Amino acid sequence: MHHSVATVPLAVTAGMLYARAAAASTRPGPGRLFAFTPVLALLLVLPFSVPLYGARGLAAFFLVWLGEFKLLLLAFGRGPLDPALRPLPFVFTASLPVKLRQSRSQAADAAVTTAGTVALPLLSSGIKVAVMASVFSLLFRSKDTLHPYAAFALYGVVMYCVLDSLLPCLAVAGRALGMEMEPQFDRPYLSASLGDFWGRRWNLVASAALRAAVHDPVRARLGAPAGVLAAFLVSGLMHEVVLYYLTFRAPTGRVTAFFALHGACVCAERWCARRCVGRARPPRVVATPLVMGFVVGTAFWLFFPAIFGDGMDDLYLAENAALASLFLDAGAWLLRLVGLGQ
């Protein structure tokens, strides 16, 4: 693991700097895409060098999904990357699930509230780390006696806490380096519709990449419903790819079915909204529980079994127990080193 901690970031940095130089010296189109081929291949293989399940899954999400999409968009002059960016912002944006603010007015507004936007994410992340520690403690003690859906619910809490603590911390790190980032989550538990959940609140960097790479081109040719269905289908397929890196098991198609179902439901939701113009819509206090109930219920059915089923959850728990033991031993060694421990 200690080798990949150094080699993967160095390889990614070198690859992205090469991509920036190639983009600066070529015009958008097939020629630039061909120039990106070594980096695109590199991003596909790098996650395999990460031995830990969780870290390998995150590396696959960062590099194989978002990194590849961002470079493919850049190859045709689209997306969040621009060879005119300075090297550090370019590498940071290309290799991590963050997006630079585009508007100067937005950056100016953010600068006014820098203290709050730094302190609050760090405090929120600290709370989520404490929640994850409590959940893991419960799972270590009682996992065998829990109903599978109760265990899935706890795993879902951990997944959300990991993403919603790690991604804001990356934004804080970028802000400390002089870059203003757009938010990655916007309180998805307050969603009033499926479109609101997926399009404006959940994992906004991935949504932006899918919108630019899939939804907008398909919509321009085949219409809005086709664009929505295509974006959800590609999202499902990319989740299957990330899960392969995570588990090293052949895809089952359940995750793709999960996203295809949600894409169809978003289209149906929009159709109903157009037919009900002028009529009263359900209040948020009613709509939000219905939306979250549908998301959670379908995740229990299709999404979580693909990630945590067939004994994979036992492997994740064993890995986290080993990491916790390692950190506790390291902490005890440091205390002894400074004369505070026995």
Digit-coded pLDDT (tens) for 288-307 = 999 999 999 999 999 999 99
Same domain, 126 and 224: no
Ranges 79-88, 93-102, 208-217, 255-264: which has the least confidence: 93-102
Percent of the chain scoring above 70 in pLDDT: 89
341 has pLDDT over 70: no
Q: Is residue 331 domain-resident?
A: no
**253: how many CB neighbours lie within 10 A of its CB?**
14
Same domain, 193 and 228: yes
- pLDDT at position 113 is 43
Of 181, 203, 219, which one is at a domain's C-terminal end? 181
Q: How confident is the model at residue 106 (pLDDT cuts 50, 70, 90)?
A: very low
Please name the helix (run of DSSP H) or strand (run of DSSP E) that holds residue 67, with its range, or none.
Answer: none
Please give the average per-residue pLDDT across 228-232, as a whole number: 97
Task: Calculate ∠ Cα 86-89-93, nearest 5°.
Answer: 135
Please give the average per-residue pLDDT across 255-278, as a whole number: 91
Q: How confident is the model at residue 234 (pLDDT cuts 50, 70, 90)?
A: very high
> What is the distance between the alpha carbons of residues 12 and 122, in angstroms, rounded to a whole number?
26
Of 181, 216, 236, which one is at a domain's C-terminal end? 181
Q: Is residue 160 domain-resident?
A: yes
Q: What is the pTM of this model?
A: 0.86
Q: Is residue 39 domain-resident?
A: yes
Stated length of the chain: 342
**How would you classify residue 151: left for phi > 0, otherwise alpha for psi between -120 and 50, otherwise beta?**
alpha
- pLDDT at position 280 is 67
Same domain, 31 and 75: yes
- pLDDT at position 262 is 97
* Residue reference for tokens 């359900």: 282
Q: Is residue 342 domain-resident?
A: no
Same domain, 28 and 125: no
Same domain, 233 and 308: yes
Same domain, 72 and 122: no
* Full residue range of the structural domain in which residue 219 is found: 184-326
Same domain, 212 and 134: no
Domain count, the chain: 3
Q: Is residue 104 domain-resident?
A: no
Find out whether 179 and 187 touch, Cβ atoms under 8 Å.
Answer: no
Q: How confident is the model at residue 314 (pLDDT cuts 50, 70, 90)?
A: confident
Same domain, 192 and 320: yes
Q: What is the pLDDT of residues 29-46, one digit of tens each?
A: 999 999 999 999 999 999
Percent of the chain scoring above 90 in pLDDT: 50
Of 181, 201, 236, which one is at a domain's C-terminal end? 181
Same domain, 292 and 199: yes
- pLDDT at position 119 is 59
Same domain, 212 and 251: yes
Q: Is residue 333 domain-resident?
A: no
Same domain, 175 and 197: no
187 has pLDDT over 90: no
Q: Is residue 107 domain-resident?
A: no
Same domain, 312 and 215: yes
Mean pLDDT for the chain overall: 86
